Structure 1
Amino acid sequence: MSRIASTARMTIRGISSSSVARQEVVGTVGTAPVKRPVGGFRGGILGFLFGFSASSALSIYYLQQENKIASGLLLASVEELQQGTGKISSHLERLQAVEKELNALKNSGAVKDDVSKVRGEMKKVYDGLHLELLDLRAHVWGVEQDLQKVVKTGK
Structure 2
Amino acid sequence: MFRSTKALAISNARHLSTSAILRQEAVGTVGTVPVKRPVGGFRGGILGFFFGFSFASALSIYYLQQDNKIASGLLLASVEELQQGTGKISSHLDRLQTVEKELAALKSSGAIKDDVTKVRGEMKKVYDGLHLELLDLRAHVWGVEQDLQKVVKTGESVDLT
Correspondence for 1:48: 49
Equivalenced residues, count: 122
**Cα drift, residue 140 of structure 1:** 1.0
SS at match of 2:95: helix
Structure 2 CA distance for aligned equivalents of residues 128 and 42 of structure 1 = 124
Gaps of 5+ in 2: 1-24, 26-34, 157-161
User: Which residue identity lines up with residue 52 of structure 1 in the other structure?
Assistant: F
Correspondence for 2:104: 103
**Cα drift, residue 45 of structure 1:** 1.6
**Cα drift, residue 111 of structure 1:** 1.4
**Cα drift, residue 138 of structure 1:** 0.8
Identity across aligned pairs (percent)? 91
User: Which residue identity lines up with residue 136 of structure 1 in the other structure?
Assistant: L
1:140 aligns with 2:141: yes
User: Which residue identity lines up with residue 48 of structure 1 in the other structure?
Assistant: F
**Cα drift, residue 125 of structure 1:** 0.4
Gaps of 5+ in 1: 1-23, 25-33
**Cα drift, residue 91 of structure 1:** 0.9
User: Which residue identity lines up with residue 137 of structure 1 in the other structure?
Assistant: R
Structure 2 CA distance for aligned equivalents of residues 89 and 42 of structure 1 = 68
User: Which residue identity lines up with residue 153 of structure 1 in the other structure?
Assistant: T
Task: Name the TM-score, length of structure 1 as normaliser.
Answer: 0.71
Give CA-to-partner distance per residue, 1:55-90, whole Å, 9 cap, x none.
Answer: 111101100000000100110111111111111111
Alpha-carbon RMSD across the aligned residues, in angstroms, is 2.1
Correspondence for 2:118: 117
Task: Name the TM-score, length of structure 2 as normaliser.
Answer: 0.69
Correspondence for 1:153: 154
